[in-house]
A and B are shown apart, each in its own frame.
Chain A
């Protein structure tokens, strides 16, 4: 048996943390792009976009992320694709994030006063110009705090990728436990690690929110 000091536990968890961070970024950026596309389709009132988007959001918010991960993992396998946990986890977390982000942003766009739409339309701005110059900047201010807050959800969500064999923080914690037989210490360190990742983002989101309400 290998002798693990507390430092060794921490060092190995720190090494694994980069995969948690990488997966979170992939999911957040990917989810942002898909979410944005959905948002535009809804704003532009494409036929069928609204009920489709609503069903999509309900689907991802109404089922466990764990099952979504399994579906991606087994589902991609059906197409004969050799699924690595990377691909399955990225796909599932991207779709999961997109459903939440599109809903957050739809709310932000809805919070912009209707008169702004009418005034910019009266100035003969096209939909793209309206979004870029009038609605976008105002909606963005409202959208930033909850979007940053959602990043915490994504980081915590990546912990579930350990279940389909993706080696990130949680999986590394389990593996270190199996090597050291010190579950209490390892899982406590693991929780601290997540806390160190998530708490600053939560605090940032909260301060952004306070600033936003201060301006009004």
Chain B
């Protein structure tokens, strides 16, 4: 007979709440920096010098074709081998930023590629500098077009951050593991943790869909 007992898990709610907060904080930092990195890479792949295009292109392909957990382990366990020692939080944020940056670069590039040529010509005829054309004319509508895809990617990165618990970053999945190592209610703890992730993913999508037009590509 299966006997489920959620009480000992729910009694540890402060741990769960703290874990969820850390997950959200990791996501907030890496989403902001990662999207900026993605925009910069998209710009470099479209307008940069040939050597820059080659470097950014290989970065994007390398990240998109390797698992996040390997990227994280390389940063946290591998880099100390050449003398770069990072704390687990720093390594987590760095891995998430690098990961999101590569995916965001491709998403943003797709948005920029569909900009009508006439809009750029019109902006140039108004004597805007190259940078002004990009940041004022090309970027905002491009971001608006790809915002749903970008939001999905940010959520994927948030869910992926569960792996950061493997290097002892005290985020939600780490809290879950900690709880079931205390009370041996492994399934119940994981179930509750998974539920919290689901709620956070749905809430984050609503939040970003709301925030995008207001703060990112709005008037």
Interface residues of A (CB under 8 A from B): 58-59, 62-68, 70-71, 74-75, 77-79, 152, 155-157, 159-160, 162-163, 170, 173-174, 177, 182-188, 190-191, 194-195, 198-199, 202
Per-position contact with A for B74-90: 1 when CB-CB < 8 Å, else 0?
10011111100000000
Interface residues of B (CB under 8 A from A): 2, 4, 61-62, 64-71, 73-74, 77-82, 155, 159-163, 166, 173, 176, 186-187, 190-191, 193-194, 197-198, 201-202
> If A71-B187, A184-B81 touch, does A152 touch B73 (CB 8 Å cutoff)?
no
> If A170-B70, A184-B79, A184-B82 touch, does A198 touch B190 (CB 8 Å cutoff)?
no
Shortest B160–chain A CB gap in Å is 7
A173 and B72 alpha carbons, distance in the complex (Å): 13
Main secondary structure of the interface of B (DSSP, over half): helix
For this complex, 11 residue pairs linking A to B, each with C-beta atoms less than 8 Å apart, are: A62-B159, A63-B197, A64-B159, A67-B197, A163-B163, A170-B70, A174-B73, A184-B81, A188-B78, A198-B65, A199-B61
Shortest B89–chain A CB gap in Å is 18
Asked if residues B69 and A202 are in contact (CB atoms below 8 Å), the reply is no
CB-defined contacts of A78 to chain B, threshold 8 Å: 2, 4, 187
Asked if residues B190 and A160 are in contact (CB atoms below 8 Å), the reply is no
Shortest A5–chain B CB gap in Å is 17
Asked if residues A75 and B64 are in contact (CB atoms below 8 Å), the reply is no
Shortest A192–chain B CB gap in Å is 9
CB-defined contacts of B191 to chain A, threshold 8 Å: 71
Contact of B66 among A62, A64, A156, A185 (CB under 8 A): A156
CB-defined contacts of A160 to chain B, threshold 8 Å: 67, 69, 163
Asked if residues B66 and A195 are in contact (CB atoms below 8 Å), the reply is yes
Asked if residues A66 and B162 are in contact (CB atoms below 8 Å), the reply is yes
CB-defined contacts of A66 to chain B, threshold 8 Å: 162-163, 173
**Besides A163-B163, A202-B64, 10 other A-B contacts (C-beta < 8 A):** A64-B160, A64-B162, A64-B163, A66-B162, A70-B176, A70-B190, A183-B77, A186-B78, A188-B74, A194-B65
